[in-house]
Structure formats: C-alpha cells, structure tokens
Amino acid sequence: MSSEIPPQVQNQLAQLQQVQQQAQSLAMQKNQTASMQKESEMALEELEKLSDDAVVYRAVGDLQIQSTKEETVTKLKERLDTLSLRLQSLSRQEERISKRFTQLQEQLQQAMGTQGQ
Amino acid sequence: MSEVSEQDVRNLAVQHRELQNQAESLQQQMGMVQMSIEDCTRAIGTLEELEAVSGSINTMLPLGGGTFVHANVANVEKVVVSVGAGISVEKSPAEAKELLNQRKEELSKVVERLNGSIAQVGQRIQSIESMAGNRSPQ
C-alpha cells in the first residue's frame, strides 16, 4: 500500500503528523499554564481576604517557609505576569502551527488530487 | 439504513473509540474530584474534633510505612490551610472549616458538570451503537 504513495507525498504526510503532534503538545502546555494561572488567581483572591499581619507560608521545594502577606502577594503577582506572558507566547506559537497545518493539508490534498487523476 | 457505506462505518468506529476514550477520561476526572471531596470531608471532621479539645493533644505523627512517632500538638487554635499555588495560610479551625466547605461546594459543582458531560458522551456512544445495530449484517 505505502509503496504506491510517492515519496514526496509520504514526506508531506510525515510533516503533517509532526505538525499535528506539535499542536497537541502546545495545546497541552497551554492548558497547564492556564490552570496554573487560575490556581494563582484563586490563591491571590484568598490572600487578599486576609488581614495584613496574617501568617502565610510559601512552599519552597519540600519546605514551607513562613512569609508575610505583602511579600507573598508580590511574588504571586510576579508569577501571574510570567504566566500570562507564557500564555501569550504559546497562543502565538499555536497560531503559527495551525497555519502550517492548514498549508500542509492543502498541499497534500492537491498532491493526492493530481495523483488520483 | 442499508445505504451506510463502508467509509461511514469506519468513521463511526473511529468516533466510537474516541468517545469511549473521552468517557474514560471524564470518569477518571470524576474519581479525582470525588477523592478531593472526601479529603475535605475528612479534614472537616478532624477540625471539628479539634474544636472540642482545649489545650494540647497527645497524638502520633506518621513517618510512613505504618510507623509513627509520639507527638504533642501544642496549639490547636491555629491550623495551616493550603490555598493553592504552593501557598498556605494560618487560620482558626472555624475559618479553615469554612474554607473547606466552600471548596467542597465548588467541587460538587464540578461533579455536576462532569456528570452532565458523561451523560452526553454516553448518549452519543449509544446512538452510534444503535446505528451500527440497525445496520443489517452483510
């Protein structure tokens, strides 16, 4: 069966599969980042409810380090900024990959079309 | 019904497999959410016990492998609750209980949503199965 497919089309097919895998991995990273963002937002929301002298602990590796509300809020906001930047960059990559996918798909359809005639 | 082509059957089979995977993943999620709810319930129970105690408590600290070391809980007026993102907050047992109850409510909503999705996927699986069942064997 595969011996009937011209090498050029085989190559395009392989590329298409690769692009599809990249898109899947990007989507997964985006989901993870979005859920980390959501978690940080919820933690921040919970922190904002506390009084200024509240005792807060931050996980550093396996340890819980005592900290202040102010310091933790600053750190969380920094983290949220980083996460939102990462999300933006992932979205841009996703767009590029999806364009590449459509392009390859069209090329492949054309190649199959001309082969079929 | 007999007009269903070979290609259609193949497409339906692929869809069926995908839906089954989806249903499995939803069930897994449901299991995890339900475990979290049970975890909250257990913690609430413990906090309620703590509220009934005044002063210190003699207890045992798990070291893993079913091994414990004797410990003395000096302060039961303050507990530390995780709020996510690696951050934990000191609270009174009553405040901690409130937070855990809120969390349980949110998780129950997730259970409802998941139940809806599982039912939807189940219906789609059934409709594919009945379509395949209606097709006369050749």
Which residues in chain A are contacts of B87 at CB distance < 8 A? 43, 47, 56-59, 72, 76
**Strands (E) located in A7-71:** 56-60, 63-67
Which residues in chain B are contacts of A59 at CB distance < 8 A? 86-88
Which residues in chain B are contacts of A48 at CB distance < 8 A? none
Cα B7 from chain centre: 39
Q: Which of A46, A55, A79 faces B83 most closely, judged by CB atoms?
A: A46
d(CA B105, CA B109): 6
Are the beta carbons of B85 and A46 separated by less than 8 Å? no
Are the beta carbons of A56 and B87 separated by less than 8 Å? yes
- ipTM metric: 0.76
pTM for the predicted model, two decimal places: 0.79
Pick the CATH number of B6-134 from 1.20.120.80, 3.40.50.1460, 1.10.287.370, 1.10.599.10: 1.10.287.370
Residues near B34 by Cβ (< 8 Å), separated by ≥ 6? B111
DSSP string computed for B32-44: HHHHHHHHHHHHH
| A47 neighbors B89 (Cβ within 8 angstroms) | yes
pLDDT tens-digit map of B6-58: 888 889 999 999 999 999 999 999 999 999 999 999 999 999 988 888 778 88
pLDDT tens-digit map of A79-104: 999 999 999 999 999 999 999 999 99
Shortest Cα distance from A74 to chain B (angstroms)?
Answer: 13
Give the residue extent of every domain in chain A: 34-116
Which residues in chain B are contacts of A58 at CB distance < 8 A? 86-88
Tell me the CATH architecture of domain A34-116. Answer: Orthogonal Bundle (1.10)
